[in-house]
Structure 1
Amino acid sequence: MDQLSIFQLSVALGIISWSFVAYKYIWPKIKGLSLVKASEPLLTVHIFRYIGLAFLVPGFVGIDLPYEFSIGAAIGDITAASLAWLCLASTQSKNFKTFLWIFNIVGLLDLLHAFYEGRIVLNITPGDFGGAYFFPILFVPFLIVTHIVIFLLLMRKKS
């Protein structure tokens, strides 16, 4: 099996596995909560997206990882983390739901754009990630699933 197939399978299995965790353990705990209370733990995960700055650290990523990808991933993750903080800081605000929509759209688009840019635009191979290889196969699928759960919370009738 070539490295691209292994990478794609790993991402798919990551999304499937994290979806199972969300369905079995997260959703049952939060589905009856208010929008604020249900989204707080999910937002808290995203404040750690500063970890995307690691894409800018030589030696952590492979020497062939394009700078265009690294800077885009870092800026996107810092933006998403900042928006998550904004949401957490505005839980008592009438604007919370609006901020949550903005965070969720921007945060998910950042992740999807990174996959698109990395594979389609820049033709990055999995080995180019170096030590950061585990980000897109483990952490990113988890973040994608949390974004989906937040969308489910936002679209339910009770909020």
Structure 2
Amino acid sequence: MSPAMILNIQLGLGYVPWLLCFAAYIWPRVRSMEPVDAQRAIATLHSFRFFGLVFLVPGVVGPDLAPGFASFAAYGDFATGLLAMLALLAVKRPAIFWPLVVAFNVVGVVDLAGDYYHGVVLDLPGHAGQLGATYAIPVIYVPLLMITHVAAFYLLARSRRHQPAAA
């Protein structure tokens, strides 16, 4: 089996265990939380996305990792992580917290969707070895990030539906 095929299989299958784990253990708990607490939990996970800057570190990734992929992935993760941290710092100020929750989720989804797009356009699977030590990020970490972004948007929509109409 080629390295490209292995990466593609792993990218797809990375969602399966996370969806099973999320459905069985995480979603029931998050769904039952107060909206602020649920979004804080999701923001806490995403606050670690500063780690994505590792895509720019020579020696961690191969010298031939496509710069278009590495830069977009690194800075998109970094921006998402900073916005998530700001949301956590602003939790006591709802007028700031909620826009930051929306912002880190929008930026995060755009980042991940852009990473998938760049991965296809730049043939990332054909150069999977260039991911070096970061290989586990798209296979193991990204599926959980995308799942939690979807959950965050669902929770945002649900909490809006349940808010009483202004008099």
Give the TM-score taking structure 2 as reference length.
Answer: 0.87
Kindly provide the amino acid, as one letter, of the partner of residue 73 in structure 1. Answer: A
Q: Does 1:86 align with 2:92?
A: no
8 Å Cα contact 1:65/1:129 also seen in 2: yes
Q: Which has the higher contact order (CA 8 A, sep 6+)?
A: 1
Task: List per-residue Cα deviations over 1:77-106 (Å, max 9, x = no partner).
Answer: 110001101211222223222221121111
8 Å Cα contact 1:15/1:144 also seen in 2: no
Q: 1:9 maps to what in 2?
A: 9
Q: 2:130 maps to what in 1?
A: 128
Q: 2:152 maps to what in 1?
A: 150
Which residues of structure 2 form unaligned runs of 5+? Answer: none
CA RMSD in angstroms comes to 1.5
Judge which range, 9-18 or 94-103, deviates more: 94-103
8 Å Cα contact 2:55/2:71 also seen in 1: yes
Task: Give the structure with higher Rg (CA).
Answer: 2
8 Å Cα contact 2:68/2:118 also seen in 1: no
Q: Does 1:47 align with 2:47?
A: yes
**Identity over the aligned pairs, expressed in percent?**
37
> After the TM superposition, which parts of structure 1 deviate over 6 Å for at least 4 consecutive aligned residues?
none
SS of aligned partner of 2:94: coil
Pairwise CA distance, 1:5: 2.1
Which residues of structure 1 form unaligned runs of 5+? Answer: none
Matches of 2:52 and 2:101, distance apart in 1: 21
8 Å Cα contact 1:64/1:128 also seen in 2: yes
SS of aligned partner of 1:31: helix
Pairwise CA distance, 1:158: 3.9
Task: List per-residue Cα deviations over 1:20-67 (Å, max 9, x = no partner).
Answer: 111111111121222111111111111111111111111111121022
Give the TM-score taking structure 1 as reference length.
Answer: 0.91
Q: 1:115 maps to what in 2?
A: 116
Kindly provide the amino acid, as one letter, of the partner of residue 21 in structure 1. Answer: C
Kindly provide the amino acid, as one letter, of the partner of residue 103 in structure 1. Answer: F
Matches of 1:8 and 1:91, distance apart in 2: 38
Kindly provide the amino acid, as one letter, of the partner of residue 2 in structure 1. Answer: S
Matches of 1:104 and 1:89, distance apart in 2: 16
8 Å Cα contact 2:112/2:142 also seen in 1: yes
8 Å Cα contact 1:62/1:131 also seen in 2: no
Matches of 1:75 and 1:105, distance apart in 2: 14
8 Å Cα contact 1:4/1:126 also seen in 2: yes
